[in-house]
Structure 1
Amino acid sequence: MSAPVLLGLSGSLRKDATNRKLLREAARLFGAETYVEADLNLPLYDGDLEDAEGVPAAVQALADQIAAADAVVISTPEYNKGPSGVLKNALDWVSRTGANPWADKPVAVMSAAAGRAGGERAQMVLRGFMVPFQPRILQGPEVHLANSSNEFDDDGQLTSAHYTKTLQVLMDKLRAEAAR
Protein backbone atom coordinates (compact mmCIF):
# COMPACT_ATOMS: atom_id res chain seq x y z
CA MET A 1 0.00 0.00 0.00
CA SER A 2 1.36 3.40 -0.88
CA ALA A 3 0.46 6.59 0.95
CA PRO A 4 -2.15 5.22 3.34
CA VAL A 5 -4.84 7.59 4.55
CA LEU A 6 -5.09 7.72 8.35
CA LEU A 7 -8.22 9.15 9.96
CA GLY A 8 -8.12 10.42 13.53
CA LEU A 9 -11.14 10.76 15.82
CA SER A 10 -10.73 12.71 19.04
CA GLY A 11 -13.31 12.26 21.76
CA SER A 12 -12.59 15.82 22.88
CA LEU A 13 -13.76 18.92 21.06
CA ARG A 14 -11.21 21.18 22.75
CA LYS A 15 -8.76 22.71 20.27
CA ASP A 16 -5.69 21.91 22.39
CA ALA A 17 -6.98 18.68 23.92
CA THR A 18 -4.35 16.13 24.82
CA ASN A 19 -6.32 13.55 22.86
CA ARG A 20 -5.83 15.67 19.73
CA LYS A 21 -2.12 15.93 20.52
CA LEU A 22 -1.96 12.17 21.00
CA LEU A 23 -3.67 11.63 17.64
CA ARG A 24 -1.17 13.90 15.92
CA GLU A 25 1.71 12.05 17.52
CA ALA A 26 0.14 8.79 16.35
CA ALA A 27 -0.09 10.16 12.80
CA ARG A 28 3.54 11.27 12.91
CA LEU A 29 4.70 7.86 14.14
CA PHE A 30 2.40 6.05 11.69
CA GLY A 31 4.11 7.97 8.91
CA ALA A 32 0.86 9.04 7.31
CA GLU A 33 1.35 11.19 4.25
CA THR A 34 -2.35 11.90 4.47
CA TYR A 35 -3.76 12.43 7.94
CA VAL A 36 -7.31 13.66 8.35
CA GLU A 37 -8.70 14.69 11.71
CA ALA A 38 -12.46 14.22 11.81
CA ASP A 39 -14.81 16.90 13.10
CA LEU A 40 -17.05 15.35 15.76
CA ASN A 41 -18.82 18.61 16.58
CA LEU A 42 -22.15 17.15 15.49
CA PRO A 43 -25.72 17.78 16.63
CA LEU A 44 -26.93 15.44 19.35
CA TYR A 45 -28.53 12.36 17.86
CA ASP A 46 -32.28 12.90 17.75
CA GLY A 47 -34.60 10.48 15.95
CA ASP A 48 -37.10 13.28 15.31
CA LEU A 49 -34.39 15.38 13.66
CA GLU A 50 -33.36 12.40 11.57
CA ASP A 51 -36.98 11.75 10.53
CA ALA A 52 -37.56 15.41 9.65
CA GLU A 53 -34.26 16.27 7.97
CA GLY A 54 -32.40 13.02 7.37
CA VAL A 55 -28.80 12.39 8.31
CA PRO A 56 -26.93 15.72 8.68
CA ALA A 57 -24.35 16.48 6.01
CA ALA A 58 -21.58 16.60 8.65
CA VAL A 59 -22.47 13.08 9.77
CA GLN A 60 -22.45 11.75 6.21
CA ALA A 61 -19.10 13.46 5.67
CA LEU A 62 -17.73 11.65 8.74
CA ALA A 63 -19.07 8.30 7.51
CA ASP A 64 -17.46 8.97 4.12
CA GLN A 65 -14.14 9.80 5.80
CA ILE A 66 -14.24 6.53 7.73
CA ALA A 67 -15.03 4.60 4.56
CA ALA A 68 -12.21 6.30 2.62
CA ALA A 69 -9.55 5.83 5.30
CA ASP A 70 -7.12 2.94 5.16
CA ALA A 71 -6.97 2.96 8.97
CA VAL A 72 -8.56 4.84 11.86
CA VAL A 73 -7.12 5.85 15.20
CA ILE A 74 -9.46 6.92 18.00
CA SER A 75 -8.34 8.74 21.13
CA THR A 76 -10.78 9.28 23.96
CA PRO A 77 -10.70 11.11 27.25
CA GLU A 78 -12.33 9.49 30.25
CA TYR A 79 -15.44 11.17 31.60
CA ASN A 80 -17.18 9.48 34.52
CA LYS A 81 -15.48 6.13 33.82
CA GLY A 82 -16.40 6.07 30.14
CA PRO A 83 -15.68 7.66 26.75
CA SER A 84 -16.94 11.14 26.02
CA GLY A 85 -20.51 11.79 24.94
CA VAL A 86 -19.08 13.48 21.85
CA LEU A 87 -17.53 10.22 20.70
CA LYS A 88 -20.59 8.09 21.51
CA ASN A 89 -22.82 10.58 19.71
CA ALA A 90 -20.63 10.36 16.59
CA LEU A 91 -20.77 6.56 16.65
CA ASP A 92 -24.55 6.65 17.05
CA TRP A 93 -24.98 9.07 14.16
CA VAL A 94 -22.66 7.16 11.82
CA SER A 95 -24.67 4.01 12.52
CA ARG A 96 -27.68 5.78 10.98
CA THR A 97 -26.07 6.49 7.60
CA GLY A 98 -27.37 3.31 6.00
CA ALA A 99 -23.94 1.75 5.48
CA ASN A 100 -21.31 0.45 7.86
CA PRO A 101 -18.07 2.24 7.02
CA TRP A 102 -16.40 0.59 10.03
CA ALA A 103 -16.80 -2.98 8.71
CA ASP A 104 -13.40 -4.70 8.56
CA LYS A 105 -11.64 -1.32 9.03
CA PRO A 106 -8.32 -1.45 10.95
CA VAL A 107 -8.78 0.63 14.12
CA ALA A 108 -6.43 1.54 16.95
CA VAL A 109 -7.89 2.82 20.19
CA MET A 110 -6.02 4.89 22.76
CA SER A 111 -6.73 7.37 25.50
CA ALA A 112 -5.33 10.44 27.19
CA ALA A 113 -6.70 11.56 30.52
CA ALA A 114 -5.83 13.59 33.59
CA GLY A 115 -6.17 10.62 35.93
CA ARG A 116 -3.51 8.10 36.82
CA ALA A 117 -5.19 5.28 34.83
CA GLY A 118 -4.89 7.32 31.62
CA GLY A 119 -8.42 6.59 30.43
CA GLU A 120 -8.17 2.81 30.66
CA ARG A 121 -11.84 2.36 31.61
CA ALA A 122 -13.00 4.69 28.83
CA GLN A 123 -10.99 2.68 26.34
CA MET A 124 -12.51 -0.60 27.52
CA VAL A 125 -16.04 0.80 27.21
CA LEU A 126 -15.26 2.26 23.77
CA ARG A 127 -14.11 -1.15 22.56
CA GLY A 128 -17.53 -2.49 23.57
CA PHE A 129 -19.26 0.34 21.69
CA MET A 130 -17.40 -0.69 18.53
CA VAL A 131 -18.50 -4.35 18.56
CA PRO A 132 -21.66 -3.88 16.45
CA PHE A 133 -19.64 -2.21 13.70
CA GLN A 134 -17.22 -5.14 13.32
CA PRO A 135 -13.96 -3.27 12.71
CA ARG A 136 -10.58 -4.94 13.11
CA ILE A 137 -9.62 -3.38 16.45
CA LEU A 138 -6.03 -3.89 17.44
CA GLN A 139 -5.66 -5.55 20.82
CA GLY A 140 -2.49 -3.79 21.79
CA PRO A 141 -0.23 -2.56 22.92
CA GLU A 142 -2.55 -0.41 24.97
CA VAL A 143 -1.81 3.31 25.15
CA HIS A 144 -3.28 4.91 28.28
CA LEU A 145 -1.65 8.33 28.61
CA ALA A 146 -1.95 9.29 32.29
CA ASN A 147 -1.52 12.86 33.59
CA SER A 148 -1.75 13.79 29.94
CA SER A 149 -1.45 17.57 30.26
CA ASN A 150 2.15 17.08 31.43
CA GLU A 151 3.23 14.58 28.75
CA PHE A 152 3.76 16.84 25.71
CA ASP A 153 6.45 19.38 24.88
CA ASP A 154 5.79 22.79 23.32
CA ASP A 155 5.80 21.20 19.85
CA GLY A 156 3.10 18.70 20.84
CA GLN A 157 5.43 15.71 20.95
CA LEU A 158 5.42 13.17 23.74
CA THR A 159 8.17 13.69 26.30
CA SER A 160 8.19 10.13 27.67
CA ALA A 161 10.30 7.56 25.82
CA HIS A 162 8.04 4.83 27.24
CA TYR A 163 4.85 6.34 25.78
CA THR A 164 6.55 7.14 22.48
CA LYS A 165 7.87 3.58 22.12
CA THR A 166 4.48 2.04 22.96
CA LEU A 167 2.67 4.35 20.55
CA GLN A 168 5.21 3.55 17.83
CA VAL A 169 4.58 -0.18 18.24
CA LEU A 170 0.80 0.41 18.08
CA MET A 171 1.15 2.51 14.92
CA ASP A 172 3.46 -0.06 13.30
CA LYS A 173 0.82 -2.71 13.98
CA LEU A 174 -1.93 -0.45 12.60
CA ARG A 175 0.08 0.19 9.43
CA ALA A 176 0.65 -3.55 8.98
CA GLU A 177 -3.03 -4.26 9.55
CA ALA A 178 -3.99 -1.60 6.99
CA ALA A 179 -1.64 -3.20 4.43
CA ARG A 180 -3.17 -6.63 5.02
Structure 2
Amino acid sequence: MASILAFAGSNSSTSINHKLVKYTTALIETHKIQLYDMTRYPFPMYSEDDERQKGFSNSLVELKNDIQRVDALLISVNEHNGNPSAYFKNLLDWLSRLERKFLQDKTIFLMSTSGGKSGGANSLKVVKNMLPRFGAEIVSTFSLPSFKENFEADGIVDDTLRTEHQQALDAFLLNLK
Protein backbone atom coordinates (compact mmCIF):
# COMPACT_ATOMS: atom_id res chain seq x y z
CA MET A 1 0.00 0.00 0.00
CA ALA A 2 1.44 3.36 -1.08
CA SER A 3 0.95 6.66 0.70
CA ILE A 4 -0.35 9.63 -1.30
CA LEU A 5 -0.46 13.31 -0.41
CA ALA A 6 -3.20 15.17 -2.29
CA PHE A 7 -3.83 18.89 -2.59
CA ALA A 8 -4.83 21.68 -4.93
CA GLY A 9 -2.45 24.42 -5.99
CA SER A 10 -4.99 26.95 -4.75
CA ASN A 11 -5.48 28.59 -1.38
CA SER A 12 -9.08 29.60 -2.14
CA SER A 13 -11.80 28.37 0.21
CA THR A 14 -14.01 27.77 -2.85
CA SER A 15 -11.34 26.08 -4.98
CA ILE A 16 -12.75 23.94 -7.77
CA ASN A 17 -9.35 22.26 -8.03
CA HIS A 18 -9.67 21.19 -4.39
CA LYS A 19 -13.09 19.73 -5.26
CA LEU A 20 -11.51 17.77 -8.12
CA VAL A 21 -8.76 16.49 -5.81
CA LYS A 22 -11.28 15.50 -3.13
CA TYR A 23 -13.37 13.63 -5.73
CA THR A 24 -10.30 11.87 -7.11
CA THR A 25 -9.06 10.75 -3.70
CA ALA A 26 -12.50 9.28 -2.95
CA LEU A 27 -11.96 6.91 -5.90
CA ILE A 28 -8.76 5.49 -4.41
CA GLU A 29 -9.44 2.52 -2.18
CA THR A 30 -6.18 0.62 -1.82
CA HIS A 31 -3.74 3.32 -0.68
CA LYS A 32 -3.28 5.64 2.28
CA ILE A 33 -4.41 9.19 1.41
CA GLN A 34 -3.62 12.50 3.11
CA LEU A 35 -5.84 15.28 1.73
CA TYR A 36 -4.56 18.80 2.47
CA ASP A 37 -6.61 21.97 2.43
CA MET A 38 -4.12 24.62 1.33
CA THR A 39 -6.11 27.44 2.93
CA ARG A 40 -4.36 26.25 6.09
CA TYR A 41 -0.94 26.91 4.58
CA PRO A 42 -0.52 30.65 4.11
CA PHE A 43 2.98 31.72 3.15
CA PRO A 44 4.33 35.23 2.55
CA MET A 45 5.54 35.97 -0.96
CA TYR A 46 9.02 34.57 -1.28
CA SER A 47 11.93 36.98 -0.97
CA GLU A 48 15.56 36.41 -0.15
CA ASP A 49 15.26 39.08 2.55
CA ASP A 50 12.46 37.15 4.30
CA GLU A 51 14.39 33.92 4.01
CA ARG A 52 17.52 35.53 5.46
CA GLN A 53 15.73 37.41 8.25
CA LYS A 54 13.00 34.94 9.24
CA GLY A 55 14.14 31.60 7.87
CA PHE A 56 11.60 28.92 7.07
CA SER A 57 8.25 28.63 8.85
CA ASN A 58 7.40 25.50 10.79
CA SER A 59 4.43 24.85 8.50
CA LEU A 60 6.71 24.94 5.43
CA VAL A 61 9.17 22.52 7.00
CA GLU A 62 6.31 20.23 8.05
CA LEU A 63 4.84 20.32 4.55
CA LYS A 64 8.21 19.48 3.00
CA ASN A 65 8.64 16.62 5.47
CA ASP A 66 5.15 15.32 4.70
CA ILE A 67 5.93 15.42 0.98
CA GLN A 68 9.12 13.48 1.52
CA ARG A 69 7.40 10.85 3.68
CA VAL A 70 4.85 9.85 1.02
CA ASP A 71 5.32 7.76 -2.09
CA ALA A 72 3.26 9.92 -4.42
CA LEU A 73 1.44 13.19 -4.89
CA LEU A 74 -1.90 14.00 -6.45
CA ILE A 75 -2.05 17.71 -7.33
CA SER A 76 -4.59 19.80 -9.21
CA VAL A 77 -3.35 23.22 -10.29
CA ASN A 78 -5.49 26.25 -10.92
CA GLU A 79 -4.87 28.82 -13.60
CA HIS A 80 -4.62 32.59 -13.39
CA ASN A 81 -4.09 34.43 -16.69
CA GLY A 82 -2.77 31.30 -18.40
CA ASN A 83 -0.27 30.38 -15.67
CA PRO A 84 -0.23 28.64 -12.30
CA SER A 85 -1.52 30.82 -9.50
CA ALA A 86 0.91 33.06 -7.64
CA TYR A 87 0.11 30.99 -4.54
CA PHE A 88 1.27 27.72 -6.11
CA LYS A 89 4.37 29.25 -7.70
CA ASN A 90 5.22 30.84 -4.35
CA LEU A 91 4.79 27.49 -2.60
CA LEU A 92 7.22 25.89 -5.05
CA ASP A 93 9.68 28.76 -4.55
CA TRP A 94 9.68 28.32 -0.77
CA LEU A 95 9.89 24.52 -0.90
CA SER A 96 12.73 24.56 -3.42
CA ARG A 97 14.71 26.99 -1.24
CA LEU A 98 14.29 24.65 1.69
CA GLU A 99 15.47 21.69 -0.40
CA ARG A 100 16.01 21.90 -4.16
CA LYS A 101 14.98 18.30 -4.92
CA PHE A 102 12.02 18.25 -2.51
CA LEU A 103 10.10 16.06 -4.99
CA GLN A 104 12.88 13.54 -5.55
CA ASP A 105 11.51 10.09 -6.41
CA LYS A 106 7.88 11.25 -6.14
CA THR A 107 5.32 9.85 -8.55
CA ILE A 108 2.79 12.51 -9.47
CA PHE A 109 -0.71 12.60 -10.93
CA LEU A 110 -1.12 16.18 -12.11
CA MET A 111 -4.56 17.59 -12.84
CA SER A 112 -6.20 20.94 -13.55
CA THR A 113 -9.63 22.39 -13.97
CA SER A 114 -11.14 25.79 -14.64
CA GLY A 115 -14.44 27.38 -15.48
CA GLY A 116 -13.35 27.75 -19.09
CA LYS A 117 -13.10 25.34 -21.99
CA SER A 118 -9.32 24.92 -21.66
CA GLY A 119 -9.65 23.37 -18.19
CA GLY A 120 -6.48 25.06 -16.96
CA ALA A 121 -4.45 23.31 -19.66
CA ASN A 122 -1.90 26.13 -19.87
CA SER A 123 -1.17 25.95 -16.16
CA LEU A 124 -1.03 22.16 -16.35
CA LYS A 125 1.57 22.38 -19.11
CA VAL A 126 3.71 24.91 -17.22
CA VAL A 127 3.65 22.87 -14.00
CA LYS A 128 4.25 19.60 -15.86
CA ASN A 129 7.46 21.11 -17.21
CA MET A 130 8.42 22.69 -13.88
CA LEU A 131 8.03 19.87 -11.34
CA PRO A 132 10.69 17.53 -12.79
CA ARG A 133 13.28 20.23 -11.95
CA PHE A 134 12.58 19.37 -8.33
CA GLY A 135 12.89 15.61 -8.87
CA ALA A 136 9.26 14.73 -9.67
CA GLU A 137 8.12 12.06 -12.10
CA ILE A 138 4.82 13.06 -13.71
CA VAL A 139 3.20 9.76 -14.68
CA SER A 140 -0.30 10.94 -15.48
CA THR A 141 -2.20 14.13 -16.28
CA PHE A 142 -5.84 15.14 -16.63
CA SER A 143 -7.58 18.43 -17.43
CA LEU A 144 -11.28 18.97 -16.74
CA PRO A 145 -12.77 21.75 -18.88
CA SER A 146 -15.81 23.87 -18.01
CA PHE A 147 -16.01 22.78 -14.38
CA LYS A 148 -19.55 24.03 -13.72
CA GLU A 149 -20.93 22.10 -16.69
CA ASN A 150 -18.89 18.92 -16.17
CA PHE A 151 -18.81 18.48 -12.40
CA GLU A 152 -21.55 18.03 -9.82
CA ALA A 153 -21.60 16.88 -6.19
CA ASP A 154 -21.23 13.24 -7.29
CA GLY A 155 -18.27 13.99 -9.56
CA ILE A 156 -17.59 14.25 -13.27
CA VAL A 157 -20.87 14.08 -15.19
CA ASP A 158 -19.63 13.80 -18.79
CA ASP A 159 -19.07 10.12 -19.62
CA THR A 160 -16.05 10.72 -21.88
CA LEU A 161 -14.33 12.99 -19.36
CA ARG A 162 -15.12 10.63 -16.48
CA THR A 163 -13.54 7.77 -18.46
CA GLU A 164 -10.46 9.88 -19.30
CA HIS A 165 -10.10 10.83 -15.65
CA GLN A 166 -10.41 7.21 -14.51
CA GLN A 167 -7.83 6.08 -17.07
CA ALA A 168 -5.39 8.77 -15.91
CA LEU A 169 -5.98 7.78 -12.29
CA ASP A 170 -5.51 4.08 -13.10
CA ALA A 171 -2.23 4.84 -14.90
CA PHE A 172 -1.04 6.78 -11.83
CA LEU A 173 -2.02 3.98 -9.44
CA LEU A 174 -0.25 1.38 -11.59
CA ASN A 175 2.99 3.35 -11.20
CA LEU A 176 2.91 3.33 -7.40
CA LYS A 177 5.46 1.26 -5.56
TM-score using structure 2 length? 0.89
Relative contact order, CA 8 A, sep 6+: which one is greater? 1
Residue equivalent to 1:176: 174
Within 5 Å, give how 1:84-95 maps onto structure 2. Answer: 84-95=85-96
Runs (4+) of structure 1 moved beyond 3 Å? none
Residues of 2 paired with 1:114 and 1:77: CA distance?
A: 10
Question: Contact between 1:6 and 1:70, CA under 8 Å: does it hold in 2?
Answer: yes
Give the SS at the match of 1:143: strand
1:23 is matched with 21
1:143 CA drift (Å):
1.6
Equivalent residues, number:
174
List alignment gaps of at least 5 residues for structure 2: none
CA contact (8 A) 2:22 2:35 kept: no
Question: Aligned AA for 1:17?
Answer: S
Tell me the equivalent position of 1:52.
53
Looking at structure 2, the residues matched to 130 and 67 of structure 1 have their Cα atoms a distance apart, in angstroms, of 14
CA distance in 2, matches of 1:41, 1:127: 23
Distance in 2 between residues matched to 1:21 and 1:132, nearest whole Å: 27
TM-score normalised by structure 1 residue count: 0.87
Counterpart-to-counterpart distance in 2, 1:166 and 1:27: 16
CA contact (8 A) 2:6 2:34 kept: yes
For 1:105, the aligned partner's letter is K
Is the Cα contact below 8 Å between 1:143 and 1:163 reproduced in 2?
Answer: no
Which residue of structure 1 aligns with residue 144 of structure 2? 145
8 Å contact kept, 1:6–1:27:
no
Query: What RMSD in Å do the two structures reach over aligned CA positions?
Result: 1.8
Q: Residues 99, 12 of structure 1: CA spacing in aligned structure 2 closer, same or farther, 3 A cutoff?
A: closer
Asked if the contact 1:7/1:38 (under 8 Å) is kept, the reply is: no
Gapped regions of structure 1 (runs ≥ 5): none
Q: Within 5 Å, which residues of 2 pair with 1:110-125? A: 110-125=111-126
1:35: Cα distance to partner? 2.6
Task: Write the deviation string for residues 35-54 of structure 1: whole angstroms up to 9, x where unpaired.
Answer: 32153432211211111121
1:44-100 residue CA offsets vs partner (Å, 9 max, x unmatched) = 112111111211111111111111122101111111111111111111110111363
Q: Which residue of 1 aligns with 2:129?
A: 128
